[in-house]
């Protein structure tokens, strides 16, 4: 588990802890521990929001800086995956061609539009959330909860090599369910601390909606591409986090 945590932090953040041994067993532990890594990226965003509150910054400006901090904490890795997947799916090409498009270093029009709109929605929803700092944490953890579900048994890799082939199919479904239960309980506790029973229910709803959105995109990606890739995993993180933020901003 320690090796898995180090691998999760190395893969999902800029924190230089090293990965040590890397095999499918370590990859399984890393994907199961991925939601905990959301505390690092979400914590960076939350600290920016708290500092913005102390400095009496405009809410939208503070939210934009918080989203930027979260992106910086991941080297914008997940956003890059989102843009690549949008280009691949939007191309309308067969799976092999779509995967080739996703592997290219440039970003096409589908990727640019998807990236801009996603960031706009994230900033606006975060600024509109009743408790932005708590919302940043819940969204970041929810985003990483998509990873054990995407890497559960029965979900293949779209390519023979790369990150997808390392982590695909490593997580038993019951372990993904257990991780979800743990995240729901933690989110409800955090929501309760900031907003009582209503806050607990809102946070749990955000986790549920974010995970559901990621599963829908996962289904589409697997059908279209034949499995998961590193880009698919990154896109799922961003979609789940964005759906969670929208839920938190929409609920009274």
Q: Which of the four pLDDT bands, split at 50, 70 and 90, describes residue 19?
A: low
* DSSP for 75-135, written as a single string: TTHHHHHHHHHHHHHHT---HHHHHHHHHSSS--HHHHHHHHHHHHHHHHHHHHSSSHHHH
Question: Is 95's pLDDT higher than 90?
Answer: yes
Q: Which of the four pLDDT bands, split at 50, 70 and 90, describes residue 191?
A: confident
| Percentage of the chain modeled with pLDDT above 70 | 98
- Tell me how many domains the chain contains: 1
Please tell me what DSSP assigns to residue 171: B
Average pLDDT, the chain: 93
Q: What is the domain range of residue 234?
A: 1-249
Angle between helices 230-250 and 77-90 (to 10 degrees): 100
CA dihedral 196, 201, 204, 208 (to 10 degrees): -160
- pLDDT for residue 21: 72
Q: Which two tokens stand for residue 219?
A: 């289904």
Rounded CA-CA distance 244/246 in Å is 5
Rounded to 5°, the CA angle 30-203-183 comes to 25
- Using a 10 angstrom Cβ sphere, with 0-12 exposed, 13-18 middle and 19 or more buried, the burial of residue 156 is middle
Model confidence over 129-165: pLDDT tens digits? 999 999 999 999 999 999 999 999 999 999 888 888 8
Model confidence over 22-81: pLDDT tens digits? 888 999 999 999 999 999 999 999 999 999 999 999 999 999 999 999 999 999 999 999
Q: Which of the four pLDDT bands, split at 50, 70 and 90, describes residue 112?
A: very high
Question: Is 209's pLDDT higher than 80?
Answer: yes
Rounded CA-CA distance 242/142 in Å is 9
Of the candidates 124, 123, 128, 133, the residue with the CA atom closest to the CA atom of residue 47: 133
* DSSP for 10-41, written as a single string: HHHSS------S-SHHHHHHHHHHHHHHHHHH
Q: Which residue has the higher pLDDT, 92 or 229?
A: 229
Least confident range of 186-190, 193-197, 231-235: 193-197
The residue written with tokens 């900031």 in the block is 194
């Amino acid at each position: 588990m320690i090796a898995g945590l180090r691998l999760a932090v190395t893969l999902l953040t800029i924190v230089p802890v090293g990965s040590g041994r890397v095999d499918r067993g370590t990859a399984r532990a890393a994907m199961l521990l991925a939601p905990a890594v959301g505390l690092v990226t979400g914590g960076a965003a939350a600290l920016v929001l708290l500092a913005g509150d102390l400095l009496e910054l405009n809410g939208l400006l503070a939210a934009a800086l918080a989203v930027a901090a979260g992106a910086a904490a991941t080297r914008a890795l997940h956003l890059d995956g989102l843009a690549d997947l949008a280009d691949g799916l939007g191309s309308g090409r067969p799976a092999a061609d779509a995967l080739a498009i996703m592997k290219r270093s440039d970003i096409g029009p589908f990727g640019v539009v998807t990236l801009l709109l996603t960031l706009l929605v994230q900033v606006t929803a975060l600024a509109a959330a009743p408790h932005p700092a708590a919302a940043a944490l819940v969204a970041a953890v929810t985003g990483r909860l998509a990873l054990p579900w995407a890497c559960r048994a029965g979900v293949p890799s779209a390519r023979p090599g790369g990150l997808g082939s390392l982590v695909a199919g490593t997580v038993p479904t019951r372990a993904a369910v257990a991780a979800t239960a743990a995240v729901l309980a933690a989110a409800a506790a955090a929501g309760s601390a900031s907003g009582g029973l209503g806050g607990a229910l809102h946070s749990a709803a955000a986790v549920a909606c974010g995970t559901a959105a990621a599963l829908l995109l996962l289904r589409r990606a697997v059908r279209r591409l034949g499995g998961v890739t590193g880009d698919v995993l990154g896109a799922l993180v961003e979609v789940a986090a964005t759906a969670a933020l929208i839920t938190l901003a929409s609920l009274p």
